[in-house]
Amino acid sequence: MADRTERQVQATIHAGGEWLTAVSGATREILDPADARPFAVVAEGDEKDAERAVAAARQAFDHGPWPGTPAAERAALLRRVADLLVRDREELGLLESRDAGKTVEEGRVDITCVADAFRYFADLVAAEAPGRVVDAGSPDIHSVVVHEPVGVCALITPWNYPLLQASWKIAPALAAGNTFVVKPSEITPMTTIALMELLTEAGLPAGVANLVTGPGHTVGARLAEHPDVDLVSFTGGLVSGTKVAQAAAPTVKKVALELGGKNPNVVFADACATDEGFDTAVDQALNAAFIHSGQVCSAGARLIVEESLRDRFVTELARRAQRIRLGRGTEDGVECGPLVSEQQRAKVEAYVASALAEGAVLRCGGKRPEPSDVRPESGYFYEPTVLDACHREMRVVREEVFGPVLTVETFRTEEEAVALANDTEYGLAGAVWSADASKARRVAARLRHGTVWINDFHPYLPQAEWGGFGRSGTGRELGPAGLAEYRETKHVYQNLAPKPVRWFAG
């Protein structure tokens, strides 16, 4: 794969198998959030570029070979893509670090997970039966339910996990036999561009995979409303997701939305009865809140801790949070990188200021760090922040901050813990910590969240569906349900001995 970490790239729109510049000629600089310096230039597409890409995808679906390619061959291509991802893991991990600000190690883990997703969906379709036979009660009737691709899919992905989130859409879309147009976030497009090259190298026919780099209000909006798009899958914020759903409604296309969360991490005192239990729960609370600087839709941003444990737990949590090593993700020893943009940092700062004004107690962080040799002053860094004495009326507790900010609430009873954890408009993910297995499962069963971890936080399995309740979205990714999003179901009823019905005289 060509080295994209240093050279400037402007022909970044991929349509019909060709790399193209924007119709308008516009470009955008891609900034490294660690120092705010540009490291690449990409095409800045608009509605015309979206039209061009959709036309290529439509042509490839209606007249190309991919939708009719046997499942075994589609699976083989997905496995080749996975092998190429593993081959280029180091370069792609570095590129993800420079693009999104995360550490290189996080980037490497992401690429491994991307390869796993391609392999999972390859295995899933390869192992499927050709159809589900339905007993019609007669030997003269052959009745079968089969799955067919939806058609042209518009895939709109976020900036926090650029390639991972793209793979959760692209892999099942291809496995099901669809064609697609992907629009990565305009500020983190580089690894998605690289994936297009790998798909071509793996042998995907021209026009099946298309990409438009550009902003959501032009490219994304046109994809969502386009009459030749059959499905739109969007991962991002609630406001933008609502607009996508509204734009898709007039053409009644399939819509899958993953819109973030405000995720509770419930810690019962019995989970910390031993030194090892206490250390593990604190360590996992740090991971839940501060991995990738808290820019994670499933981040455990709400610590809900039993009151008797609160002082000891929060004191140790704040002490460790202060020791997190901030810096450029490519530097050795760095544990947490910058926020993705100056706009995102300003948003986080505003949330912290409002929380303090509403009575929250700052236990650590709450400011920009001092510059250092691994932390340029121009970078978008913000200290891991713990806000104690929080309550439900605070904006920082209700709304998704998407930054390194952890709020602390307390409870006395199991009933109160469940009520606090469910007191959110979102319902994406949450966790329960307890040494009492029965209690942990009982509480988990009552939480209205799409994923609930018990004595853990953040792991996901490709085989398990990922999605949320409430305003966290309507779609499902990963697992069999993730593949089902990209399919239509058809019932084929064949009468082997047709006879006249004679309902009417004639």
- Annotated catalytic sites, by residue? 258, 297
Q: Helix (H, G, I), strand (E, B), or coil: what is residue 136?
A: coil
SS3 267: strand
Query: In sequence order, what are the residues at sequence separation of 6 or more whose Cβ sits closer than 8 angstroms to the Cβ of residue 405?
Result: 289, 294, 301, 348, 351, 352, 365, 385, 387, 396
Beta bridge partners of 180: 153, 209
**CA-to-CA distance for 148 and 122, rounded, in angstroms?**
16
User: What three-state secondary structure class fits 284?
Assistant: helix
Contact 455, 285 (CB under 8 A): no
Strands 179-183 and 152-156: parallel
Q: How far lies 356's CA from each of 183, 410, 473, in Å?
A: 38, 18, 30
List the end-to-end C-alpha distance of the chain, in Å, as a whole number.
71
The dihedral of CA 104, 105, 111, 113: what is its sign? negative
Backbone dihedral region for residue 282 (phi beyond 0: left; psi -120 to 50: alpha; all else: beta): alpha
Task: Map residue 307 onto helix, strand or coil.
Answer: helix
Q: What six digits make up the tokens of 503?
A: 């309902």
Instruction: Characterize the bridge pairing of strands 429-433 and 451-454.
Output: parallel
Nearest to 164 by CA among 373, 499, 477: 477
Report how far residue 401's alpha carbon sits from residue 364's, in angstroms, rounded to the nearest whole number. 17
Q: What distance in Å separates the CA atoms of residue 194 and residue 182, rounded to the nearest whole number?
A: 13
Angle formed at CA 141 by CA 139 and CA 144, multiple of 5 degrees: 120
CA angle 37, 43, 44 (to 5 degrees): 90
Q: With both helix axes pointing from N to C terminus, report the angle between 71-87 and 162-175 in degrees, rounded to the nearest 10.
A: 160
User: How many Å apart are CA 181 and CA 154, to the nearest integer?
Assistant: 5
Alpha-carbon gap, residue 446 to 479, rounded angstroms? 23
The tokens describing 354, both together, are: 């409002």
Report residue 9 as tokens. 């790239």
